[in-house]
Structure 1
């Protein structure tokens, strides 16, 4: 009687993983197709379409734009999120609970709504569509996430360490840079890598706020308008590989923190 439930549990787990990862496996498999049609039968393996991606100047430029926007917007979102978390955790502010809820509110709002709001705001203020505008949009959606991650890790033990540093004569800026930041490094890096992952894959805001210089998800959408081909599969596989790499980096940081 015990064997049957275990078999069902294993079968259910395999079904869930297959349901999640089968589309990605098919995408990666047909990115290795040697012919021009991403349909069965499989005629690979071949790196022809990966070479085509690397030789495509528009895709390479879009890749560089995605990296630039992801790194800079994540850096700004992490810094602002850390400062906001530090301020709420260390100082008593009137209505702080409401202010924290207001700061994390964008997490519950659709990216489409945020993108449309930013588009209207930028048109009203005369800010042109560009990578900088998209970067600002990515800061808007990632700052609440960074704040929530870092604020959740600011416990009482940091307060005691900071108080000891002040008692030894350290000014506030030294307490912040030499005590608080080093203690919070795991949470800071976790929020940065998670923010990069979301920015790297983000499409809606980038589509609405860019014009000529686009990010990689927008360029992939432009390719898909002409129909599926192994080249788009190769690009999609590369995007997924980068996302997985950042997720593993995030998990490695959190794992080291748990061990410590």
Structure 2
């Protein structure tokens, strides 16, 4: 007979995971609803709403826009975050503490404030709203996160390897690109995929800075204005499946290889 503490731990774990994943289960279940409304009782299964998603030009265009914005803005944020982290960690210029504080400060600022500030700034310089401005907004949003992750990964144990590379004739760019970046590959991958996730889900900045070409969250918001629709459940299920695939790929291709390298004598 299990001890009370074990049973209580199991109950707590079940409640915790149920709280996290029950909305996802409901979302996926009612994406196969055969009826018009995604509410009980369940009537299905049916793939009609998935077919309607791929037949809807606005939804597929928004899905592609979100993918492009997420990938490009995350790559730019990771690159800028890596360069800033490398410069401040390795060269320690005067005022580096203030620079670090300024780079991480946007993490504490609401996305609404960031979006409004960018909207006013773009209007002042005459830049019209588009996917480009949304991408710039997502770089501003994700750059502090990328910097914080990569700066924390730049430990002193890497300095000797970089110093050895310089002794063998490598210049600063070669050390940064061929030595430091590969050693930080798990951190770079984590920063990139977190940025992709935040960019993919972000609504306020995308809503404020887009006009005709919109991202998926903005398009889903437009659909929900007319009420519940199983089509939005189908889109959410597709996005959830994509997220699972990305997490598994990251685990198999990056973190396990890094763990295997660190375990070698």
Deviation at 1:255, TM superposition (A): 4.0
Matches within 5 A, 1:169-184: 169-184=169-184
Deviation at 1:166, TM superposition (A): 1.1
Q: Determine whether 1:258 maps to 2:232.
A: no
Q: Extract unaligned runs of 5+ from structure 1.
A: none
Aligned position for 2:246: 246
Deviation at 1:102, TM superposition (A): 1.0
Aligned position for 2:208: 208
> Does structure 2 conserve the Cα–Cα contact (< 8 Å) formed by 1:78 and 1:143?
yes
Higher mean displacement: 245-254 or 167-176: 245-254
Deviation at 1:2, TM superposition (A): 6.6
Aligned position for 1:137: 137
Once the two structures are superposed, what CA deviation does each residue of 1:98-136 show, in whole Å capped at 9, x if it has no partner?
A: 210110111111111111111111111111110000000
Aligned position for 1:229: 229
Matches within 5 A, 1:63-102: 63-102=63-102
* CA RMSD, 1 decimal: 1.5
Deviation at 1:48, TM superposition (A): 0.7
Deviation at 1:239, TM superposition (A): 2.0
Which TM-score applies when normalising by structure 2? Answer: 0.94
Q: Extract unaligned runs of 5+ from structure 2.
A: none
Equivalenced residues, count: 260
Aligned position for 1:47: 47
Deviation at 1:89, TM superposition (A): 0.9
Aligned position for 1:117: 117
Q: 2:139 and 2:158 mapped to 1: Cα distance?
A: 27
Q: Determine whether 1:32 maps to 2:55.
A: no
SS at match of 1:237: helix
Deviation at 1:243, TM superposition (A): 2.7
Which TM-score applies when normalising by structure 1? Answer: 0.95
Q: 2:153 and 2:78 mapped to 1: Cα distance?
A: 14
